[in-house]
Amino acid sequence: MIRLQEVAKTYRTRTGEQVHALAETTLEIGENEFVTLVGPSGCGKSTLLKLVAGLVPVTRGHIRVREQPVTGPFPDVGFVFQQPVLLPWRTVMDNVLFSVEMLGLDPRQYRKPAGDLLELTGLGGFETKYPRELSGGMQQRVAICRALLPDPGLLLMDEPFGALDAMTREEMSLELLRIWEERRKTILFVTHSIPEAILLADRVMVMSPRPGRVARVLTVDLPRPRTMDLEFDPRFKAYSDEIRGLIFSRRKERP
Amino acid sequence: MSGVRRLLGETLVPAATLVLALLAWEAATWAFRIPRFIMPPPSAILGEGWEWRYRFIEHTWVTLYETLGGFALSMVVGVPLAVLIVYSPRLRGAIYPLIVLTQSVPKIAIAPVLLLVLGFGEIPKMVVAFLVAFFPVVVDTATGLGATPPELLDLSRSYRASALKTFLKVRLPMALPFIFAGAKVAITLSVIGAVVGEFVGSDKGLGYVILSSTSYWKTEVAFSAMILLSLMAIALFAAVSLVERLVCPWLATDEG
């Protein structure tokens, strides 16, 4: 579904310095695949998401989504960020409808599917509440509903659970998997958490910084549906050790 | 029980303090035989103010009219100016230094020139009030328009929403609390601006009353006018706060 061909991104800072956010990267992501990107800060994870969404132009190379070259933003994308960034003046329902409104669709026709999504994420009955009346986890669920409502083929998630406490985080990961089982889509998921990356993914892309690049791609061969018990599985530990090794060995290379 | 205690703490204690201060003031003017034209006792201020009540209605109305005119101008000019500044870096470079320049000139120094150019009447006072009040509107609105989280702007862009749609549905509502913060400052500054304008040249308004009554040694009347001015400023501030609460109900519980 997504194909990156020798894609590179270089930023120029105000002082004129060149920052290599992403070095030549070639990769392919299949339809309905769940791919996680894991790595330390500054390894180009978020840049990669923005490039795929067409929010920033590539410096070199080509990106194709469903064989179409990406030249700018395209509507088949849902975005979830680390912060829920809801609109505080809108109710939960109207926040979910925000995505279809911005897409230029008629929000009245989406009230029913929006209600279904809220029901699916355990927010049934909260339609008329305001964001400030919800916990951080619930707000992030609303943000996920907002991204899912136009039923995009591609969901881009930039550390969506990074601001949540550990318990809510586990709960949300499992819930995301449950939603994904019900409504299959291609998901690109950025995270700092190695266990989270393994638990969710079909494939984990381990990234390394300076310049940002994909150091290794691991296929997670673990049965679905997955639960937290998976953490006690020896294979889980093996994957985790491998990723940790990749990230930390690189750290030691530098003085 | 705690409700009663809170009522005591929030209203009764300050009210009692005020009454005590007034009594002390009253007693001091009698005890030290301070001449009324230097420092009139509160009773004389109230008495004389009551005598003047019909004349005060007209003067208060004039000052209120000038204040509201200046405030309206500062909002109507200030908010679009801020939008231009935020959306066009080139205009920002062109306009911003000019705005800062208008702020660097003391308003009381511009007032006589303005009155010379614009003549007598309420309009020049509105212009003075506007000049005093519009700067915080511009600055706060510009800050508010820049306060939209970049993720929301990315989101709008990924949905290919137009700049106008993003402005109306995201950036402007996000900026509303900031715009109201600017409006609250602007309304109180407008009162000052109107009075400054009246000081320079007028035959109506509470500023005129203060100036003329002090030159006739009618200090009580000047004090009454001052009280009316501050009551007016408080009422206008409360009115803007009320509008804020009606327009931005989602902020209500954040304050209390």
By Cβ distance, the residue of A79, A101, A130 closest to B154 is A79
User: In the sheet where A34-38 sits, what is the strand order?
Assistant: A77-80, A154-158, A186-191, A34-38, A203-208, A213-219
What is the predicted pLDDT for the residue at A85?
A: 94
> Does the beta-carbon distance from B159 to A55 stay under 8 Å?
no
* Rg, Å, chain A Cα set: 19
C-alpha distance from residue B116 to each of A217, A240, B124, B162, B211 (Å)? 78, 80, 9, 47, 19
CA–CA distance, A166 with A193 (Å, rounded to integer): 11
Question: How far A35 CA sits from the closest chain B CA (Å)?
Answer: 20
DSSP string, B185-221: HHHHHHHHHHHHHHHHS-SSSHHHHHHHHHHTT-HHH
CA–CA distance, A215 with A37 (Å, rounded to integer): 11
Question: How far B52 CA sits from the closest chain A CA (Å)?
Answer: 47
CA–CA distance, A95 with A116 (Å, rounded to integer): 14
Instruction: List, for chain B, all residue ranges whose pLDDT scores fall below the cut of 50.
Output: 254-256
What is the predicted pLDDT for the residue at A255?
A: 46
C-alpha distance from residue A58 to each of A6, A45, A50, B110 (Å)? 10, 14, 10, 54
Contacts of B161 in chain A (CB under 8 A): 102-104
pLDDT tens track, chain A, 255 positions? 899 999 989 888 888 888 888 888 899 999 999 999 998 887 888 889 999 999 999 999 999 999 899 999 998 999 999 999 999 999 999 999 999 999 999 999 999 999 999 998 889 999 999 999 999 999 999 999 999 999 999 999 999 998 888 888 888 899 899 889 888 899 999 999 999 999 999 999 999 887 888 888 999 988 888 888 888 889 999 999 999 988 887 555 554
| Contact with chain B for residue A238, Cβ under 8 A | no
C-alpha distance from residue B66 to each of A61, A117, B126, B176, B181 (Å)? 63, 54, 5, 25, 21
CA–CA distance, B45 with B213 (Å, rounded to integer): 13
CA–CA distance, A99 with B18 (Å, rounded to integer): 55
The predicted complex's ipTM stands at: 0.87
Query: Which of the residues B148, B151, B154, B159 would you substitute to probe the A interface, choosing the one with the greatest number of A C-beta atoms within 10 Å?
Result: B159
> Does the beta-carbon distance from A132 to B156 stay under 8 Å?
no
Place of tokens 């902020």: B251
Contacts of A80 in chain B (CB under 8 A): none
CA–CA distance, B67 with B188 (Å, rounded to integer): 9
What is the predicted pLDDT for the residue at B10?
A: 81
Question: How far A138 CA sits from the closest chain B CA (Å)?
Answer: 18
Give the number of beta-carbon pairs within 8 Å between A and B. Answer: 60
Contacts of A74 in chain B (CB under 8 A): 160
Contacts of B156 in chain A (CB under 8 A): 102
What is the predicted pLDDT for the residue at B254?
A: 45
CA–CA distance, A115 with B203 (Å, rounded to integer): 65
Q: What token pair was written down for A99?
A: 């995505």
Question: What pTM was computed for the model?
Answer: 0.86
Place of tokens 């061909």: A5
| Contact with chain B for residue A88, Cβ under 8 A | yes
Name the burial class of residue A36, with classes exposed (0-12), middle (13-18) and buried (19+) by CB atoms within 10 angstroms of its CB. Answer: buried
What is the predicted pLDDT for the residue at A249?
A: 72
CA–CA distance, B61 with B176 (Å, rounded to integer): 29
CA–CA distance, B26 with B39 (Å, rounded to integer): 10
Nearest CA in chain A to B167: A102
What is the predicted pLDDT for the residue at B22?
A: 93
